Structure 1
Amino acid sequence: MPEHVLITGGAGFIGTRVARRLVDAGHTVTVLDSLIAQVHGDDPEVTSPLLRSLDGVADVVRGTVTSADDLRRALTGATLVVHLAAETGTGQSMYEIDRYVEANVGGTAKLLDILANEKHDVRRIVVASSRSIYGEGSYRTEDGRVVHPPHRADAAMAAGDFDVHMPGEGPITVIPTDESAKLHPSSVYGITKQVQESLIMTVAPTIGIEPVALRYQNVYGPGQSLKNPYTGILSIFSTLIRQGKEINIFEDGLESRDFVYIDDVVEATFRAATVADAAGGVFNVGSGVATTVREVVDALFSAFGSEVPTRVSGNYRLGDIRHNVADTTRLRDVLGYEPEVAFRDGVARFVEWVLSEPLEGDSYQRSLDEMASRNLLK
C-alpha cells in the first residue's frame, strides 16, 4: 500500500536519496529540513545541489524539528516517518552542547509529544541512530569472554598509548559489535543519539506506532558535504588532497571505522520503512568491515592517482573512539539485506564525483582550532 512518508532532515545526504528510493517505489514524500548553511550554503535554492535534487520528488517544508508548528505542518497526511533530523559531529558536540541536545533530544521529544496528543495517521517511525552509542564497542578477552571497555583515558593517550584496555584483563581484541552490546557513548553527540533512539523505541509502542532504529556506521559516498568539516575524513582528506596540503593522521593511524556506502544505507533504510518484520527492531547498518585511517589514505591516493605528504602526528580528540565495526547479522536475517559495495570500489565512485565538484575552502582547520582552543584536541 502506498505510504505518505515524512522525512525529517530529508534534504540531507541520506534523506534526499531515501526520498528518491521511496518515490520510485510508489510512495509520496514530504521533507522537513532547516536547510542550515553549514550543509546547504547561505542561499539553499542556489547553493544546495541536495535541495535541488528534490525538485519533482518531494514537497519540501522549510522548518525545524525544534518547532512544534513546523512539525505539525510537515506531518499532515503522513503515515510513516523517517526521522533523520539531527545535529551531527562528535567533536563539535563537545562544546555546542545545548544546540545538540535541543535538536536531537528536544526535536524528537516534540515529534513524539505531537503524536501522543494529537490526531494523526502515522503507523511507523524509523529513527536514524548511530554507532556512536556503543562507545568503544565489543572486545574479546584472552579466555574468550566478550567485554565492553571504558573510554580511553586522556593521560594514556597523551603518553602515546591509544589502545583500548579493560581493567583487570590482559590484551583484548576488537570484535564486531552487535545490537545487544552495552550502550555507553563517549561524546555528547553519542549521548543525544542514545536518548533519541530510546525515546522512539519506548514511547512509540505505547501510542500504537511501530518503532524501528537504524544504527548507522560511517556513511560516505557521492553527495556528501565537502564543506562541512564534521561530515567525516573521506571528505576532509579529499579536499586536502585536491589542495595539495599535508594530511595530519591522528593517533597512530591504526584507529578504524566501519565505512558503509550511501547506496547500501539507502536500501537498508527503505527496507526498515517498508518491511513488515522490521517493526520493533534495532539494526546496525554498516559494511561489517573495519578500515583503518591509514587504509583510508591509501585508498584515496589510489583513487585520485596522486599523493600529498602525510604526517602521523599522535594528535587525538577527546570523545573519539579507537575502533568500530558492526555485526550486520540482524540486518541480513530480518531485512534480507547485505551491503554490496566494497570500500575501495565505493571510494573510487566517491572520488570520481568529488573531482566533478568545485574545490571548497578549508573549514577543517578552523574546526580543529576551535577544538584545540577548548582543550578537546591534544
Structure 2
Amino acid sequence: MMDVLHPQVHADGRALNLTPSVRLFTGDVTHGPDLDAVLRLFRPSQIVHLAAETGTGQSLTHATRHGSVNVVGTAQLLDALSRSAWVPDQFVLASSRAVYGEGAWQCGAEVFYPPPRSHAQLSAGIWDPQGPKGEPAVPLPSCAGRTEPRPTNIYAATKLAQEHMLGRGLLPATPI
C-alpha cells in the first residue's frame, strides 16, 4: 500500500488500523519515482486506486491540487506501470457519483439533466431542479450504465477524467 499520509486525513502522520500483513510505503502518486520504487519491489496482481483529493467544495479553491492528484497522479501511475512493463490482472478505480452531477430528472413527459443551480436559485432557497417553466421536477433513479456523466464541479470532472484515462483499454480497469 502506498499513501501520502496527507495531514487533512492523517493528522498524526500515521496510517491507522493496518493489518500486520500490509506493508506501507509513504509516497506521492504524483511523483513518478515513488511509484517506480514500489513497482520495483512488487508486481501486484491487483491495483486498487484510491488516491484522490476528494473535497468537492475544496476543489473550487484548490483546483490545481485536485487536478494534480486525481488526473496527473493517475497518469503517473499509468506511466510507472509502463516503465515497469507490468500489467496487473485487475485495476480498480474508486470513482464518484459526482461524475453524474444531478442525474436525470423528469417534469411531465420530459426527462432532462439540470445544470448547476444559479446563485439566484440558491439565494431563494430553491434546492431542487425545476422544469423548463419553473414547475416541480422529480429525480429519476440512476444507473451508472445508463446515466449520462455531467460533472458540475472540478472534483467531479477530475474523477471522470480518471475514468476516461483508464477506459481506453490499456489496462483491465473497473471504475466503481
TM-score, normalised by the number of residues in structure 1? 0.44
% same residue: 35
2:14 pairs with 1:66: no
Gaps of 5+ in 2: none
Pick 1 or 2: higher relative contact order, CA cutoff 8 A, min separation 6: 2
Structure 1 residues 74 and 194: alpha-carbon distance in aligned structure 2, compared to 1, 3 A threshold: same
2:173 pairs with 1:211: yes
- Counterpart mapping for 1:1-378 below 5 A: 31-44=1-14, 51-75=15-39, 76-143=42-109, 145-167=110-132, 170-179=135-144, 180-202=146-168, 205=169, 207=170, 209-214=171-176
Tell me the distance in 1 between the aligned counterparts of 2:167 and 2:46: 15
Alpha-carbon contact 2:60-2:154 (below 8 Å) kept: yes
| CA-CA distance at 1:106 after TM superposition | 0.5
Amino acid in the other structure paired with 1:82:
V
Tell me the distance in 1 between the aligned counterparts of 2:111 and 2:90: 34
Tell me the distance in 2 between the aligned counterparts of 1:168 and 1:201: 38
Amino acid in the other structure paired with 1:130:
S
Alpha-carbon contact 1:134-1:183 (below 8 Å) kept: yes
Tell me the distance in 1 between the aligned counterparts of 2:16 and 2:137: 48
Tell me the distance in 2 between the aligned counterparts of 1:150 and 1:41: 36
Which has more helix, going by share of residues? 1
Gaps of 5+ in 1: 1-30, 45-50, 215-378
**In the TM superposition, what whole-angstrom CA distance separates every residue of 1:125-157 from its partner, at most 9, and x where no partner exists?**
1000001111111212312x4321111111111
| CA-CA distance at 1:66 after TM superposition | 0.4
What is the aligned length?
173
**In the TM superposition, what whole-angstrom CA distance separates every residue of 1:193-244 from its partner, at most 9, and x where no partner exists?**
1111111112xx2x3x211011xxxxxxxxxxxxxxxxxxxxxxxxxxxxxx
**In the TM superposition, what whole-angstrom CA distance separates every residue of 1:267-322 from its partner, at most 9, and x where no partner exists?**
xxxxxxxxxxxxxxxxxxxxxxxxxxxxxxxxxxxxxxxxxxxxxxxxxxxxxxxx
Alpha-carbon contact 1:141-1:169 (below 8 Å) kept: no
| CA-CA distance at 1:169 after TM superposition | 7.3
